[in-house]
């Protein structure tokens, strides 16, 4: 069975709202500054990757409810939500977007039960994104994180490298207003997550993960990266988020986002991309008592390398 929903359309206002809610200042999303990007093939601003993933999250939320799968998630303690997506083509404002969800599969072999769905996103009948959404008992990505012990991350300045490590620290504060705006920018009804009259506060999974973009951009900015001459493009996201910790978040809680570049060799390489120069990043979001809210592997590549790979 394949569930294909009716098309959605992002407009520039949705892009602006989503990027403002997450402090994403990437030139690719700006209605004017995209013109400054060297050899920009998109001929206009494009939709945020996390913005699209937020819409996917929302569609899966209702898919789970429709197929009574939340009882499986709670009964088997599938506390981790995992997103594994590869970006194939950019989506521009005004283009119809359709999301395809393949039938759920439950794999109970081994020590980690996994409930998974294959996802594909098309725009104008062209594949834009493909991958999986999986629920699991333990994190599927970077499960054995090698994070040095830090006493209290509040002692370190925002936008700084932590001493004795290669981690760059970006400090954010999660709040309801930004989460609402991010949902609206993602074509998602905020009332499904927030309702003050009913004391309902449910932070969506992708929203705190979307702040990775801000952390990476500020890291590049600190390194005096030239965003116009050497723009970077997302190739893939692999994210595992702990729903138990997410449920405990309150508005104005601190998020300490740690990012560091890792080798592109071995398991971190993505040979399917056909691109020989990846910038791979290991990312973590630490909350109170340095508990890991999510961990992620993010792959980017210089736009120049992507364009060359298409010419081969």
Q: What is the per-residue pLDDT for 6? A: 73
pTM: 0.92
Give the Cα separation of 33 and 265 in Å (integer). Answer: 34
DSSP 103: P
Q: What is the per-residue pLDDT for 47? A: 98
Q: What is the per-residue pLDDT for 151? A: 83
> How many alpha carbons fall within 13 Å on the CB side of residue 141?
27
Q: What is the per-residue pLDDT for 4? A: 53
Q: Which long-range contacts (CB under 8 A, 24 or more apart) does 120-123 make?
A: 121/52, 121/56, 121/91, 121/97, 122/97, 122/98, 123/89, 123/91, 123/92, 123/95, 123/96, 123/97, 123/98
Do the Cβ atoms of 277 and 261 come closer than 8 Å?
no
Phi, psi of 214 (to 5 degrees): -60, -45
Cα 130–chain centre separation: 14
Element (DSSP H or E) covering residue 54: helix 49-66
Digit-by-digit pLDDT tens for the chain (312 residues) are 455 567 899 999 999 999 999 999 999 999 999 999 999 999 999 999 999 999 999 999 999 999 999 999 999 999 999 999 999 999 999 999 999 999 999 998 777 899 999 999 999 889 999 999 999 999 999 877 667 777 889 999 999 999 988 999 999 999 999 999 999 999 999 999 999 999 999 999 999 999 999 999 999 999 999 999 999 999 999 999 999 999 999 999 999 999 999 975 434 344 444 445 579 999 999 999 899 999 999 999 999 888 876 554
| 2-311 placed in CATH 3.10.129.10 | yes
Q: What is the per-residue pLDDT for 112? A: 86
Q: What is the per-residue pLDDT for 272? A: 47
83's tokens: 């997103």
* Strand duo 96-102 + 114-123: pairing: antiparallel
């Amino acid at each position: 069975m394949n569930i294909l929903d009716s098309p959605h359309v992002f407009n520039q206002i949705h892009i602006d709202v989503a990027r403002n809610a997450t402090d994403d200042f990437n030139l690719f999303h700006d209605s004017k500054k995209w013109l400054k990007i060297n050899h920009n093939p998109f001929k206009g601003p494009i939709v945020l990757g996390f913005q699209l993933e937020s819409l996917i999250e929302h569609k899966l939320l209702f898919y789970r409810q429709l197929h009574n799968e939340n009882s499986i998630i709670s009964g088997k303690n599938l506390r981790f939500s995992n997103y594994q997506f590869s970006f194939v083509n950019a989506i521009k404002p005004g283009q119809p977007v359709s999301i395809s969800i393949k039938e759920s599969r439950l794999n109970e072999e081994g020590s980690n039960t996994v409930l998974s769905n294959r996802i594909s996103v098309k725009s104008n009948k062209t594949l834009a994104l493909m991958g999986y959404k999986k629920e699991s008992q333990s994190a599927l990505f970077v499960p054995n994180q090698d994070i040095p012990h830090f006493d209290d991350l509040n002692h370190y300045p925002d936008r700084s490298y932590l001493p004795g490590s290669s981690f760059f620290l970006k400090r954010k504060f999660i709040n309801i207003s930004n989460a609402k705006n991010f949902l609206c920018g993602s074509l998602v009804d905020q009332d499904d997550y927030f309702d003050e009259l009913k004391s309902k506060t449910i932070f969506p999974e992708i929203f705190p993960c979307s702040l990775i973009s801000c952390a990476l951009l500020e890291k590049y900015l600190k390194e005096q990266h030239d965003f116009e001459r050497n723009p970077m493009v997302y190739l893939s996201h692999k994210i595992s988020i702990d729903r138990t910790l997410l449920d405990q978040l309150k508005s104005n809680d601190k998020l300490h986002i740690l990012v560091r570049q890792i080798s592109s060799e071995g398991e971190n390489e993505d040979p399917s991309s056909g691109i020989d120069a990846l910038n791979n990043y290991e990312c973590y979001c630490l909350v109170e008592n340095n508990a890991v809210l999510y961990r992620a592997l993010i792959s980017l590549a210089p736009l120049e390398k992507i364009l060359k790979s298409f010419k081969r």
